[in-house]
Amino acid sequence: MPHAKYEHLFHNRRIQFRINSQGMRSDKDFSWEKPLNCFRVVVLGDSYSFGYDVNIEDTFLSQTEEKIKKDGKNIEFLNLSVESYSPDFDTCFASVV
């Protein structure tokens, strides 16, 4: 849900989720037009790519983006992942019914 902020406890750590105005797990909004000389990666996935059990800066997407930017490349990861979904057909079907 756009602009959502919530948290949960995982192994005595407080995990915070912030959803931008576009419905992505991100601390920032993205321009609809891709910036020049920027490579965008759209990520579709489940709770692992969403980063359900870690804060946003500890997700593998944030870590990867930071490393690539340190190498001088302009990149943005657009995380469209949703927690509690699975590529398993039975799970997906059950959640739709």
Q: Provide the CATH number for the domain around residue 86.
A: 3.40.50.1110
- Assigned domain for 60 exists: yes
- Assigned domain for 67 exists: yes
Segment 15-58, tens digit of pLDDT = 888 899 999 999 999 999 999 999 999 998 888 888 888 999 99
Domains in the chain: how many in total?
Answer: 1
What is the spatial distance between Cα 66 and Cα 19, in angstroms, rounded to a whole number?
19
- Assigned domain for 10 exists: no
More confident of the two residues 13 and 87:
13
Structural domain containing residue 52: 30-96
Nearest CA to 37 out of 79, 66, 72 is that of 72
Rounded to two decimals, the pTM is: 0.76
* Beta carbons of 52 and 33 less than 8 angstroms apart: no
- Characterize 72-93 residue by residue with b for buried, 16 or more Cβ atoms within 10 angstroms of its Cβ, and e for exposed: eeeebbbbebeeeeeeeeeeee
| pLDDT higher than 60, residue 93 | no
